[in-house]
Each structure stands twice: as structure tokens, then as C-alpha cells.
Amino acid sequence: MTNAASLRRCLAALPAFALAHPAAASLPDPVRAMVDAALATGDESKVRTIIAIARTTNPDDTAELDAILATFSTRLAARKAEEAAAKEAELRSAGVFENWAGKGEFGGFRTTGNSSNTGVSAGLAVERKGVKWRHKLTGRMDYQRAGRVTTREQYLGRYEPNYNVSPDVYVYALAQGERDRFQGYDGRYAVSGGMGFKALKDKEVQLSLKAGPAFRHTTFIDGRDESRLAGLIGVDFGWNITDTLKLTQTTNAVAETGGSTLAIVDARNTTIDLLTGLNAKISGKLSARVSYSYQYDSNPPRGAVGTDTLTRMTLIYDF
């Protein structure tokens, strides 16, 4: 049985409760039918709207209408508390491989004629939410060939566990690895930990910020290895423009120091990974996505450029 069905069943006795009051008989039948219909939906906004209208058109029945609304609110609060307790119990008893949800993303292109290009872009993001903990796994791959020559080959993997200290503040840890030989490195690995803050968490707009110290190790294609202390700043933004259209913005900036934890201002190398996307829902679990990726390296290896951009057009499947 769905939550909505359970709520309607729980609230079905409300009209009888109202009739048990001495003032109940004063409500005209059309008004009572309208109120009962709103109560049957279990929708709080509808109930409040209908009762507000009824108060305006039937001012002498305000006391009865207030009593109906008070009873509805009490039972609704009890129902929400019951559902929250059940959800918490479910999360606490869930196994390690349960309660995972995520998105799979894939797109590609092929051109022939004057030029022969093949490119694919794929991504996977899964998340598991518990009572206090949240685990996020992210993977991304971009690959392109022009003729018989590979012109782009980039891989990224990231794991981030979060622990909620309060409803708005959390502690995070982060482990990230990436490879991009065309940018001059075989592997670049970073670990970080710090604090995060949920600045906005409305249904329409969400904004989360995080920052903390980090350590990064880079293996270059020429065989050199380099390890440095760093600082990490992260921004995650989401805007539900409509029920079917959503704008997302993810930014991760890592500023390496010159080898000293105190020389943050005298940074040797700063990288920024900025990803902006626009999702349009096609069906219940399928969406189309257009995204723009901007990657900046203030001190790239010799022979590589500092700025790398990519526009993707992909399909996303929620699971």
C-alpha cells in the first residue's frame, strides 16, 4: 500500500469526527462535500486551501472548520512521524549492498566523409544514504579517435563518504584518481577531508559547499613523480527549473602549495574542474543531458595546454 493510500485511509474518519461536534450540522452540504473531498486526498495544501475558502464563504462556521483542520493536522503529523520512524528503522537495518541508487550516463558520436571521428562519453554515479552517513561513488570516461589516432582518453574515479554532524553541517572524506595522457600525466591522485555546509536544500534549489586540506600525488608521462600538500574547495548546485528540467553545477578546485603547509598563497599549481549540465526528463527514469566541462591547470606539464573543454550530449538512466 502506498503512503498516499495509507494516509487517505488514516484520514477517512475525519468527516465523522467533525459531525460529532455540536456545530457540525451548520456546515451546508455542498461545503461539507468539498471539505470531505479535500480531506480524502490527504494533500495538506489542498485541505488548507479549501478550508480557507470555506471560512471566507461561511464565516459563521469558522469554529467547526478550525476543528476539522486541527484534527487533520494532528493526524497528518502523527502519520509523518510514523513514516519517518519506519524509514529510519529500514535504513538502520539495511545491508551494505542495499539502498543504493544512481544514474548511468552514456553518449557518443560518429562522423564520416571529409573526416572520420568516433567519440564516446560515459559516466556512473551511485549514492547510498543512511541515517547519518552518505556514500557517493562517481566514475567518468571520455574517449575519442580521429581516423586511426586517439585524440582524447580521460578517466576519473571518485569516492566520497559524508557524515552528518547536524541537518546542515557534515564532515567529508574524498579519494580521487584520474588519468589524462594528453594533459601530460599517467595518474593524478588526491585525498582530502574537511567540512561541508548545506547552504540551500529546498525542493527547487540545492547548494552545498565543502572545503578542507588535501594531499595530491601526480605521475607524469615523462616518468616524474610529484607529491604536494593542497587545499580543496567544492561546490554542488542544483536548480529544478520545472518538473522536467534541471540545471546542475559542480565545481572542484584544488590549489597545491609549494611544498609547505603555510605557503598556500604562494600556490604552485591550481586545477579547477567545472561541470555544468542541463537535464530534461524524457520519461520516468530516462533523461537527456547537455553538459559543458571546463578543466583548468595553472601549471600544466610541458607540451600541454592549461585549459581543456568538452561539450557532451548524453542520455541518463536513473536506477
pTM, two decimal places: 0.69
Domain boundaries, given as residue ranges, for the chain: 3-93, 100-318
Calculate the average pLDDT of the chain: 81
pLDDT band at 275 (very low <50, low <70, confident <90, very high): confident
Least confident of 67-81, 159-173, 252-266: 252-266
Q: Which pLDDT does position 115 carry in this prediction?
A: 55
CATH architecture of the domain covering 100-318: Beta Barrel (2.40)
- Report yes or no: 125 and 137 within 8 Å, Cβ to Cβ: yes
Mean of pLDDT values over 12-27 = 48
Mean pLDDT value across residues 163-191:
92
Residue 192 has pLDDT above 80, yes or no: yes
Confidence grade of residue 84 (pLDDT, cut at 50, 70, 90): confident
Banded pLDDT at 223 (limits 50, 70, 90): confident
| Model confidence at 272: pLDDT above 60 | yes
Asked if residue 11 has pLDDT above 70, the reply is: no
